[in-house]
Amino acid sequence: MISIELQFLVAGIIFIIGLIGLMVRRNIIFMLMSMEIMMNAAGMAFLCAASQWFQADGQVMFLFILSIAATEIAIALALVILMYKHFKTVDTKKLNSIQ
């Protein structure tokens, strides 16, 4: 049996890796990938708690996180394609002008 502390430690490490990627990378596709990793780690934390206390509520929360992630990525990638059409770049540092 894995202790709950170790499970949350793994979830936290993966979440922080995603956070670092979100802060460091400038390419918007990589930023979205990091966001997906962070959402995945959050869902993993819910599932760890669910398996610790033998409750199915955590899996229900994981399902909600799953639907939110799918919706978010559909809209975000549509926005990325629009951004590429308008600015011809995927670099977020070049989006600093208000037109």
Partner 1 sequence: MNILFVISAVIAVFSSAMTISRRNAVHALLFMVLSFLAMSMIFYSLGAAYAAILEVIVYAGTIIMFFVFTVMFLNMSVSPEDEKMQTGWKTWVVPTLLGLLLLIGFCISFFTGAEEYIVVKQISAKEVGKLLYTKYVLGVELAGFLLLTGVVGAYYLGRENKRNVHRYLQNIEN
Q: State the helix-helix crossing angle for 28-53 and 57-87, rounded to 10 degrees.
A: 180
Measured from the CB of residue 87, what is the shortest distance to partner 1 in angstroms? 12
**In the set 5, 30, 95, 99, which binds partner 1 (CB under 8 A)?**
30
Q: Considering beta carbons, is residue 60 or 95 the nearer one to partner 1?
A: 60
CB-based contacts of 67: which residues, under 8 Å, 6+ apart?
none
- Alpha-carbon span 34 to 15, nearest angstrom: 9
98 is a contact residue toward partner 1 (CB under 8 A): no
95 is a contact residue toward partner 1 (CB under 8 A): no
| Buried-state track 23-59, b at ≥16 Cβ within 10 A, e below 16 | eeeeebeebbbbbebbbbbbbbbbbbbbeeeeeeebe
Residues binding partner 1 (CB under 8 A): 1-2, 7, 10, 13-14, 17-18, 20-21, 24-25, 27, 29-30, 32-34, 36-37, 40, 43-44, 47-48, 50-51, 54-57, 59-60, 62-64, 66-75, 77-82, 84, 90
